[in-house]
Every structure is written in structure tokens, then in C-alpha cells.
Amino acid sequence: MTGTSAMSPLLVALISGGVVLGALTGLLAYVTLLERKFAARMQSRVGPYRVGPHGLLQPIADGVKLLLKEHLVPDAADKGVFNLAPVIFFIPCMLIFASMPFAPGLGVADLNIGVLFFLAVSSMEIVGLFMAGWGSNNKYALISAMRAVNQIISYDLPFVMAALVPVMLAGSMKLSDIATAQQGLWFIAYPVIGQLAFIAFIVAGVAAENRTPFDILEAESELIAGFRVEYSGMKFAFIQLGEYAHVIGTSFLGAALFLGAWAGPGPSWLGPLWFTIKALLVFVLFTWVRWSFLRIKVDQILSISWKLLLPLTLLLLLATAVVIVIRSGAGV
């Protein structure tokens, strides 16, 4: 990056942050369309079709609609908490992209603890979520918030364990190092360990993002819409966008950790495109799971996490360590 020396680091960060944020918002809008179209095809429907050719302008119409909607605040709500919650929810969901390198050297901040930063920030969303549930002063929202705390704490552990497998294989927490380490062999192709870790990552990821079959906190047939039941207009849009940002962020992480990030045929400037395509593939996998299964109950979700997923991912981590030691021992 020539010429950046003249600019202050802060300015560079601001510009690159702005570019990522802008591109991301556009991507998010169209990811909702992708999900709706994909779900529609699964259910032998057409999906959004009226706004623009093949419904391509639908996300914009949705955005405009949500912008124009009235902001309702329940009379008995804790107004400060209620109004602040969507923002608190939204910020960590967008912040997770800060450590994401979209190509070698292209990203906001390629931290040397990128994975840790991602995992730490992404579980911050629970604060906003609980504030939304509490501030709404609605019993459904409160139950949903309680469930959220239970579930996200339970599933962040196996999620971290699954994400640690590639970290161990690459020997670095820096996402670009992990990507470089996969130049020869994507980690998903790593014998046995890679596939198991990917499956665990997807399962824990679905749960950490509160999507069906683990969407007990939204659970519109029990809790109507859970913590967001009282939100309308742009505040609702913030929560919705935040959720999609979280899903897409997790998809990018999955693509970075297991699918070789920007590696792909063609010139190197196609890297970000390959990365995005891989992330969208992971996203479609999440979507596929979502629209195929029924929801399970909170106690079952917790027992799956603590009794099944966590011990298994721990074992997997142990196995990875053993493999690394054996291979390095063989090398030495």
C-alpha cells in the first residue's frame, strides 16, 4: 500500500472500515434475499418476485419500509435499555468483521489474535440480546432472553473448541496465517480431524446463531418472536441485520478456517471473490439446516451441548494435539 505513509493510521483504519462496512451492508441485504430465495425453492415456492427483476430490489424495498415504520416503545418498557439494546446488539455483530482479512493485506486489522478477537466479540451480542429481552418488559421477551443466556454460553464453548482445531493445525491465531497454512491442503480435507471439526463447527455455529433447530430464543410459535417481539421499524432492522451479520461473519470464519479462505483458481485479485463465494456456501449450508429441521427444546439443547458436543470437541482437540506432536516428532 504505497502512499499510505502520508496518511495517518487512524485515517487508513477509518477508510478501510468504511469500505468494509459499506460492502458488508450491501452483502447483508442481498444475503437475506439469497436466504429467502433458497428457502422458497426448498418449499416449492418462487420467493420474492415482484420488486425488480426476479425480486432483486426486494432488500431495498424492505429497508425503505423498515425505515419508514413507526417506532413503538411499550409503555411499561425500560426505555433507556430498550432503545440502547439494538445498538449494543448490532455493534459486536459488525465488529467481528474487523479482524477478517478478505485477501492478503486486505482487511481492517489483521490481528495476530484474529480468531480470539472474533470469538470474543461475537459472544458480546448476548449483552444486547439480554438488554432487549429485559427492557421490553414482556414475559415472552424475558423468557427468550433467559434462554439466550443459557444457550449462547453453552454453545460458545464447543464453538471455540471446534475453531481451535484449525488454529492448532496452523499454529497461529492470525487469520491470514491460517489462510496461508491452507495453501496446500484445506483444513476441511485434513484426514478425519478436519471433517469432524467442520461438522462440530457447523452444529455449534447454528446454535450460536440461534437458527433452527436451535432457535429457541426466537421460537415464534412459542415465544412469538422472543426478545425482539416489541421492536419495530429501524430498531427491528438493526436486530435483524445484526443477526445476519453474525451468521455471515461465522460463515466467513468457517470459510477462513476450513475452506482455505481466498485460495482459488485465477489471478490473486479474485481472492476476495472466492472467499465470499465460500462464505456464501457455508451460509447456504446453515440455511439448508435451518429450513429442514424442527426446533428442539431448551433442556435438550443444553444437554446436547454439555453432554455431547463439548466432550467430543475436547476429544477432537486432544486428538489434534496428538497428531501434531506425532507429525512434528516424525519430522524432527
Partner 1 sequence: MSEVREIDYTGSERLTMNMGPQHPSAHGVFRAILTLEGEKIVAVDAVIGYLHRCHEKLAETLAYVQYPSIASKTDYVAAMASELAYVMAAEKIGQFEVPKRAQYLRVAVNELQRVASHLLWLGTWCLDMGGALGGGTSVFLYCIREREQILDLFESLVGARLLYGFHQVGGVRYDIPTGWVEQCRTTMDLIEQRLGEYESMLHDNAFFEMRTRGIGVISSQLAQDVGVCGPLLRASGVKYDLRRNAPYSSYEDFEFAVPVETEGDCHARYRVRMVEFRESIRIVRQVLDGLPEGPISSRPGVKSLAQVKVPKGEAYARVEGPRGEVGCYLVADGTNKPYRMKWRGASFSNLAVLPHIIPGVTVADVVAIMGSVDPVFGEVDR
Segment contacting partner 1 (CB under 8 A): 79-87, 90-98, 138-146, 163-171? Answer: 138-146
Residues whose CB is less than 8 angstroms from the CB of residue 279 and which lie 6 or more positions away in sequence, other chains included:
248, 251, 252, 254, 255
With CB under 8 A as the contact rule, the residue among 172, 176, 182, 212 that binds partner 1 is 212
**Which helix (H) or strand (E) segment is 304 a member of?**
none
245 binds partner 1 (CB under 8 A): no
38 binds partner 1 (CB under 8 A): no
Least Cβ distance, residue 293 to partner 1 (angstroms): 4
With CB under 8 A as the contact rule, the residue among 13, 73, 81, 224 that binds partner 1 is 224
Q: Which is nearer to partner 1, 161 or 216 (CB)?
A: 216
213 binds partner 1 (CB under 8 A): yes
- Distance (Å, whole) CA 53 – CA 16: 32
With CB under 8 A as the contact rule, the residue among 12, 13, 29, 42 that binds partner 1 is 42
With b for 16 or more beta-carbon neighbours within 10 A and e for fewer, the 58-69 pattern comes to bbeebbeebeee
307 binds partner 1 (CB under 8 A): no
Q: Which is nearer to partner 1, 270 or 296 (CB)?
A: 296
Least Cβ distance, residue 117 to partner 1 (angstroms): 30
- Do residues 280 and 250 make contact, with C-beta atoms less than 8 angstroms apart? no
* Nearest-5° Cα angle at 211, 282 to 223: 170
223 binds partner 1 (CB under 8 A): yes
With CB under 8 A as the contact rule, the residue among 294, 329, 331, 332 that binds partner 1 is 294
- Residue 194, C-alpha cell as written in the block: 478436519
Segment contacting partner 1 (CB under 8 A): 154-162, 215-223, 261-269, 273-281? Answer: 215-223
- Distance (Å, whole) CA 41 – CA 186: 30
In this structure, is the dihedral angle defined by the CA atoms of residues 107, 172, 151 and 214, taken in order, positive or negative? positive
31 binds partner 1 (CB under 8 A): no
With CB under 8 A as the contact rule, the residue among 4, 268, 300, 328 that binds partner 1 is 300
Segment contacting partner 1 (CB under 8 A): 4-12, 91-99, 218-226, 278-286? Answer: 218-226
3-state helix, strand, coil in the chain (%, to 5): 70, 0, 30
- Distance (Å, whole) CA 254 – CA 163: 8
- Number of residues in contact with partner 1, rule: CB under 8 A? 31
Q: Which is nearer to partner 1, 78 or 222 (CB)?
A: 222
Longest Cα–Cα distance of the chain, Å, equals: 69
- Do residues 135 and 82 make contact, with C-beta atoms less than 8 angstroms apart? yes
DSSP conformation letters of 92-153: HHHHGGGG--SBTTBSS---TTHHHHHHHHHTTHHHHHHHHHHHTT-HHHHHHHHHHHHHHH
Q: Specify whether the backbone of 48 is left (phi greater than 0), alpha (psi in -120 to 50) or beta.
A: beta
With CB under 8 A as the contact rule, the residue among 156, 177, 209, 215 that binds partner 1 is 215
With CB under 8 A as the contact rule, the residue among 2, 68, 191, 221 that binds partner 1 is 221
219 binds partner 1 (CB under 8 A): yes
Least Cβ distance, residue 151 to partner 1 (angstroms): 13
Q: Which residue ranges make up the site for partner 1 (CB under 8 A)?
A: 39, 42-45, 139-140, 143, 211-213, 215-216, 218-224, 290-300
